Amino acid sequence: MATLAPDKAPPELVAFFEDVRRLVDGELTRRLAPPPEDPGRLIEAMHYAATGPGKRLRPAVLLAAAEACGGAHANALPAAAAIEMLHAYTLVHDDLPAMDDDDERRGRPTVHVAFGEGIAILAGDGLLTAAFGALAELGPYAGAAVAVLARRAGAFELLGGQAIDLTASPESLGSLASVERLHAAKTGALFAAAAELGGIAAGAPAATCASLGRYGLSIGIAFQHADDRDDQEFQELAEAAKERMRVLGEEARAIAQSFGGRGARLASIAAWFASQA
């Protein structure tokens, strides 16, 4: 999947994405190092899922949002690990035979193929649990951070989107508005959480974090439009989707610019997402 490959990003972002991967993968490996006794290779499976190929876009958005609020990367790192573990858990469970039934992801066997279906269920559960555990390390901001992630990743947003996916065909969604509601739940929710958590970890006021949430939602929907570009099912909506990507990118860029110079990275990310239109 070549959509939004970090090594094809605008030059000012490439080095940032490399830094993010190094930082976040180091943090994930520290948290998920398999102990000498690892029954069923559960923790190895969690590490495999969280540190495989993949773009680390959500932690990048989170760290860029923390920057925009004047926060240091180090303070936001537990949250960056949390959002990547959360994302990894959704992929592990999505790939299960009872869900999308995928054998391969990013050129490697999926977790249930490599470790067995039971361990894959537990590994997803473990990553979800560890994500909240990491947010608990945010000191005075832990409560707000957990509340945001639980809402965004919960049954009324992310999981609700996955339930729609299980029960509806893309054609049955019909209009671009319905497709976008699904995009908002399935993909927008986690990008929104990423941006909000960056603000929270930097100690930003609630109104600022809410504004970052709108930024994340916009780029998340744009990302999903880009991801669906080559999908046969969405061809009829392709032109309308392109126009929406431009609009969503502009909305996100405006929010980024409200942070002045510190928001430059967020603005670059929004422009890059919109440029896929």
Contacting residues toward its own copies, per CB under 8 A = 35, 39-40, 42-43, 46, 89, 93, 96-99, 116-122, 124-126, 128-130, 132-133, 135-140, 142-144, 146-147, 149-151, 153-156, 159-160, 162-164, 166-168
Output the smallest distance, CB 136 to its own copies, in A. 4
One-letter amino acid at 88 equals A
Contact 53, 108 (CB under 8 A): yes
Sign of the Cα pseudo-torsion (137, 143, 145, 146, in order): positive
3-state secondary structure of 105: strand
Q: How near is the Cβ of 195 to its own copies at its closest, in Å? A: 18
Quick check: helix, strand or coil at residue 72?
coil
DSSP alpha helices (H): ranges in 95-175?
111-115, 117-135, 142-152, 158-167, 170-173
CA dist 57 to 19, 84, 167, Å? Answer: 12, 9, 28
CB nearer its own copies, residue 14 or residue 155: 155
Task: Write down the least CB distance from residue 54 to its own copies, Å.
Answer: 20
Compare residues 10 and 139 and give the one whose CB is closer to its own copies: 139
Closer residue to its own copies, CB minimum distance, 124 or 220: 124
Of 92 and 256, the one with the shorter C-beta distance to its own copies is 92
Instruction: Pick between residue 1 and residue 33 the one whose CB is nearest to its own copies.
Output: 33
Q: Which amino acid is at 75?
A: N
Minimum distance between the CB of residue 57 and its own copies, rounded to whole angstroms? 21
CB 48 to its own copies: min, Å: 13
Q: Which of 206, 149, 213 is nearest to 184 (CA)?
A: 213
